[in-house]
Structure 1
């Protein structure tokens, strides 16, 4: 299959195109850009990342990203971009020149909102002051820095290439480069980690005064080194103590939990993430990127792109590996799988606005979830109870047809 726009993508699920009410208005639109290369693959990582060669094919990859975007422009429908997220891999391995050419190409194709949020993922080992000043000048206005831990023993166990001092310096360098909005990515439940170890990491992160902290438990995922060679992780009681004490510490310092693993200062939640969780639309470009696109006729389509960089860069292969239109039966689970991750949930009206289905279609499952104590009894909102947040999978199961 060639890359011309007339190429027909793989369609999965024949019943997916059942009629649905036209959407009253299309959701906000975001863009996810995947850059799949890392200095080294971490043993816990199940993302689509690949060890970088000494010279990255920056020019070829930017050309491919823009050509990939061209094939998704039909789903923009005149909307502007509310956010852009460079994920990976390690996007900060790319030069400012390459990212600048990419952003300019995107802007020529889709208008940017005046207050657009543009986030770049970076690792402390890839921080260069001059490069990050240049990134800021491009209009990138938010960084997400992959710290994971400040303790050398834990960093070594996680296969990270930076040390604790570099992690501390990275936050300072981000601020000096002009980033007044940045996230620190931190894990807990690490190999042989104690409660004191976990809280020490969290205190160090808070001391650096990021606007946002992503704090989440290490899990062993299939197709990773840790899955095949599992490390010794803390006992469940320790994990529970870490979670409770860590959430209290974050709240004490003004970081409000707004999502399962996301904590932000007032007014600083990640807009790109909020768009995901509120069932907004996003175009996904790059090797292995996923997208979710709504159409005025009511169709909502999930897309995924060719995974391997060598295939993505091969002109003889298609960018798009497949797509699936969501069925009416799948819609409650798909919507709530996102919305119920938010601690405050979403306004009930968002369900018909974003799915084209009547709110009443949830009634039977909703009552059952409320009676189980997993869903709040609040007609104007769809939100999990505290217990529902702890047992989110059990709550979501109630909305499976």
Structure 2
């Protein structure tokens, strides 16, 4: 029989706790949900769980949400000494997470996978209702655990393998969903110092960059310049990139990191990037033709993330091992110099998304939270 939690003092609206720390792929859907909850129920309180080691320490407070830190529970990929310490780490993390849930008066816990979600699921089990969302084509361990005792399960794509899953897509920020690339184009080109008229390729490899992408695209710089193509290339804060200017050619602009993804998308006519679930969803939502280069580690999920857009005609896919200056030029130049082709691919990419996913998930979460709050009142 489960122990009843010590509830915090009652508040006007529901308290929604989101667990999606570690990487942007977990944090951004969580915060997109938080934004949607706040739009639908301004009286709701939103608390984010995170750890000291994740990106959430910077991102969550900057977006105006309360952050509560808990110990991380990373799952060892191989049998090591850390594996034997795991039960003690899990127990400590669950205890601290349970204290947070009780203190804030959680009405629902919404997990997005990763090492923050697992202790949240275990702490909430039998005490606070759980909603699980998974963005990837292949579900991770934490969400497999959480789905076993979740009230509702939402996924980005069909055939996730999670029981009773509802396909809703990936929650995205309003600034992405409502982005008018054409209206922002001139401002975006000026912001990055790009040619105002040249067809332009956006290049990035995630928040830390990607060496394979950096080397291949910079190696094709002269051929891109000769074709009249401009480039905006985010190479990652730990990397450097030197590209020789070609007189009279559109600018090849390099930056360590893109603080304004909305302007980066608006400046571009096509994109070459990795195919994490969040990246694929955003690129498709804004209607950018893409060349996806799946990360060649893990369980192959990045290739699976990109496949629906490729199959729909909105993107190309190049394996990391096949990405060279030649393959970049042979794929990008015909795409960037054919406006009609870009328009067809843009329409195809836009048709693969779920632009309403954040609101759909928010309504689902609020329904579960309200049911829980009602039961509390009846006790």
TM-score of the superposed pair, with normalisation by structure 2: 0.29
Which one has a larger percent strand, Structure 1 or Structure 2?
Answer: 1
TM-score of the superposed pair, with normalisation by structure 1: 0.28
Asked which structure has the greater RCO (Cα within 8 Å, sep 6+), the reply is: 1
Which one has a larger percent helix, Structure 1 or Structure 2?
Answer: 2
